[in-house]
């Protein structure tokens, strides 16, 4: 039987896949290879790193090096692409440790056409099947109801909805909406996606979440990488609160401090004279409930046993960052070569 060699049919939107690279490794190569394998046209892959590196064989991409002599922010790298390739219809943002499934761009066209009023779209960051054990633990925490609460849809397929904040590891943004919002224009390293989504939302542009747009995203090993990342997420949120950002006042952001306080109170109750047996019973019940019910997907039994402890550490790291952000107003930034004023 003859195999068809016809070129893929041209799609309705021109995509530029934007991949800011901090330090390239084999997962960066996997990301690039998966993007190159997408059969959608027209698409352009653009990689921006601070130091030049060789692309994997078979990958046709624009490879830009900032040669800044320092680590620049993801937002700075994305704005380089926006200025270099202004004729895109949609910028498809991927982290360098994420990779898309084959249907990713085709599904994005469907979602964006169905929701013409949306400024962009996004999908869940799915757990790759080959993560290490400690990366799987980080994924399990984020995918659990107790770990991410109402934001669980960011890491687990759920009902489609409109969002005013979405992670940039798998985020489509219409070029005209991004230009109207002034681009990324921030040196925040962590929280830059919240900054740009807020600008989009202020102009009436929401992000359409759809489970069809899922992409695989490697998490960091739980200790110390994940906890440090979550600490910085909390610190950014604390800075937003300190600056009066209204969307950061949603009740859901009080969840991690409340759970941390509850765990701390239970731990010290016997020291304050509370009867040991009831405290132990409550702790045992909480452990069993978290291990058995917090994550409703298939999970290794060892991960289930670790999950309750990991949830407490996760929320404690977020809460510590939140309090420091509230108290100091400082967050993690990069020393970009040109200072970019936030819009």
Domain boundary among 176, 191, 221: 221
d(CA 79, CA 87): 14
Domain that holds residue 268: 239-328
Preceding amide of 191 cis, omega within 30: no
Within a domain: residue 275? yes
Domain count, the chain: 2
Within a domain: residue 339? no
Could you tell me the pLDDT band of residue 70, with boundaries at 50, 70 and 90?
Answer: confident
- Does residue 258 share a domain with residue 212? no
d(CA 73, CA 336): 7
pLDDT of residue 5: 45
pLDDT in tens, 179-234: 999 999 888 777 889 999 999 999 999 999 999 999 999 999 999 999 999 999 99
Of residues 330 and 240, more confidence is placed in 240
H helices of the chain, in order, are: 26-37, 74-84, 104-114, 133-143, 145-148, 175-180, 192-202, 227-242, 255-268, 276-293, 301-328
* Crossing angle between the packed helical segments 192-202 and 74-84, to the nearest 10 degrees: 50
Question: Which pTM does this prediction carry?
Answer: 0.89
pLDDT in tens, 237-290: 999 889 888 888 888 888 899 999 988 888 888 888 888 888 889 888 888 988
Within a domain: residue 3? no
Domain harbouring 188, CATH code: 3.90.550.10
Pairing relation of β-strands 90-94 and 62-65? Answer: unpaired
- Does residue 246 share a domain with residue 188? no
- Does residue 311 share a domain with residue 278? yes
Within a domain: residue 5? no
Asked if the model's pLDDT at residue 342 lies above 60, the reply is no
- Does residue 268 share a domain with residue 152? no
Average pLDDT rounded to a whole number, residues 61-76: 88
Within a domain: residue 6? no
- Does residue 124 share a domain with residue 36? yes
């Amino acid at each position: 039987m003859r195999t068809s060699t016809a070129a893929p049919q041209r799609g309705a939107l021109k995509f530029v896949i934007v991949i800011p690279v901090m330090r390239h490794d084999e997962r960066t190569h996997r990301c690039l290879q998966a993007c190159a394998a997408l059969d959608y046209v027209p698409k352009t892959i653009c990689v921006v790193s601070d130091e030049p590196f060789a692309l994997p064989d078979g990958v046709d991409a624009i490879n830009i090096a900032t040669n800044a002599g320092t680590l620049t922010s993801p937002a700075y790298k994305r704005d380089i692409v926006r200025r270099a390739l202004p004729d895109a219809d949609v910028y498809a943002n991927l982290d360098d440790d994420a990779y898309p499934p084959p249907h990713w761009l085709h599904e994005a066209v469907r979602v964006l056409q169905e929701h013409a009023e949306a400024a962009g779209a996004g999908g869940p960051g799915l757990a790759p099947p080959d993560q290490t054990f400690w990366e799987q633990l980080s994924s399990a925490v984020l995918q659990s109801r107790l770990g991410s609460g109402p934001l669980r849809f960011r890491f687990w397929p759920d009902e489609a909805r409109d969002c005013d904040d979405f992670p940039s590891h798998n985020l489509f943004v219409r070029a005209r909406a991004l230009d109207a919002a002034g681009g990324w224009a921030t040196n925040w390293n962590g929280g830059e996606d919240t900054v740009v989504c807020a600008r989009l939302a202020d102009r009436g542009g929401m992000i359409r979440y759809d489970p069809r747009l899922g992409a695989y995203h490697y998490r960091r090993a739980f200790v110390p990488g994940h906890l440090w990342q979550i600490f910085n997420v909390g610190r950014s949120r604390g800075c937003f609160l300190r600056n009066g950002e209204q969307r950061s006042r949603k009740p859901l952001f009080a969840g991690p401090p409340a759970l941390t306080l509850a765990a701390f109170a239970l731990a010290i109750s016997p020291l304050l004279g509370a009867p040991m047996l009831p405290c132990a019973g409550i702790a045992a019940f909480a452990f069993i409930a978290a291990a058995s019910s917090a994550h409703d997907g298939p999970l290794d039994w060892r991960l289930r046993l670790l999950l309750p402890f990991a949830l407490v550490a996760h929320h404690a790291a977020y809460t510590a960052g939140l309090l420091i952000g509230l108290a100091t107003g400082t967050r993690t930034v990069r020393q970009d070569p040109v200072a970019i004023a936030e819009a």
